Amino acid sequence: MIRTPQFWHQPPGVLAYGLWPLGWLYGAATAWRQSQASQAHHARCPVICVGNINAGGTGKTPVVIALAEHLTARGRKVVALSRGYGGTVAAPTLVIPKTHGAGEVGDEPLLIAAFCPVVVARKRAEGLALALAQNPDVILMDDGFQDPSVHKDFSIVVVNAALGFGNGFCVPAGPLREPLAKGLARADLCLSIGEAAAQRRFEALGPDHAHLRVEGQIKPLLTGMPWQGLPVFAFAGIAHPKKFFATLRDLGANVLGCEALSDHEPLSLPLMKRLAAKARSLNAQLVCTEKDAARLPAQYQRDVLALPVRLEIQDWSKIDEKLINLGL
């Protein structure tokens, strides 16, 4: 995945306005796809979509995991449905963590599979049948807010509070997959993820969607690992690598070096050998994100330390209200 251009998150300038006509066409194409929603496949159980209006990563996977845990705690059987971005399988496939690798089913489905069964399929409508074969009480759809092929009973739009909706233009002039007003009009909730200061800025600058909004924060999962003073060389192939590096510093790790990779970048043997050599030269522990760890070659899985994170939502009331309405 290509890293998002910086101008997407700056006030619109010559480049953004120059690309605006293409962005208008992109948004119009999305609107046309949504017009096909009458042909959507309906599941026999509620379908909850965790998607976004922005292109690129906004933190959807931690949201899916948090919802899977929350629904499981309510006594519901959850099955997740994903396109398996980065994987090679096209036919509907039930993810088996000890059998499948990230190269086959994608790194995010492997993470989610630790919390609930996951079906990956290039076409979500085809994957729906296999997901329903697992006899779920609810299906969590990872991404697919703009995909009209599956009917959604509850749609959550996830946004990075620090970045918001960027310059408000559609791809390639900006970060949006569709015009913001139209996207929010279809959403049931907008989950903004970020620290308190970022949340307040997003609240002040964002559109009028207070009635939709729920706040969350992604925090490291403290497993007893003594991070304080630990010399590390960190790498991350996620949407916002700098956030991961800052988290390590906040935990007290001595970050001697770091390398930002592209989101979902394959961790080839030559790349890992180079990163491991850098860590050795600094006498540092090689550290990555939990998502990167899912893509590690087998020979590096014992040598690289992963930092897991989880989404924290203090107030579940708006989400729970919708779940109750759906019989969940």
Nearest C-alpha neighbor of 59 from the set 187, 158, 161, 196: 158
Instruction: Report how far apart, in Å, the C-alpha atoms of 237 and of each of 160, 273, 296, 309 are.
Output: 17, 16, 11, 15
How would you class 281 by CB atoms within 10 Å of its CB: exposed for 0-12, middle for 13-18, buried for 19 or more?
A: exposed
d(CA 29, CA 9): 23
Would you list the DSSP string of 256-286? EEEEE--TT----HHHHHHHHHHHHHTT-EE
Nearest C-alpha neighbor of 292 from the set 315, 270, 309, 311: 309
61 is in an annotated binding site: yes
Cβ neighbours, 10 Å, residue 167: 20
d(CA 78, CA 72): 7
Quick check: 177 and 183 in contact, CB under 8 A?
A: yes
58 is in an annotated binding site: yes
Point out which residues pair with 119 in neighbouring strands.
Answer: 81, 94
57 is in an annotated binding site: yes
144 is in an annotated binding site: no
56 is in an annotated binding site: yes
Phi and psi at residue 319, to the nearest 5°: -70, -45
Instruction: Report how far apart, in Å, the C-alpha atoms of 319 and of each of 13, 50, 53, 187, 286 are.
Output: 38, 12, 19, 13, 38
99 is in an annotated binding site: no
Annotated binding site: 54-61
Give the annotated binding-site residues for ATP: 54-61
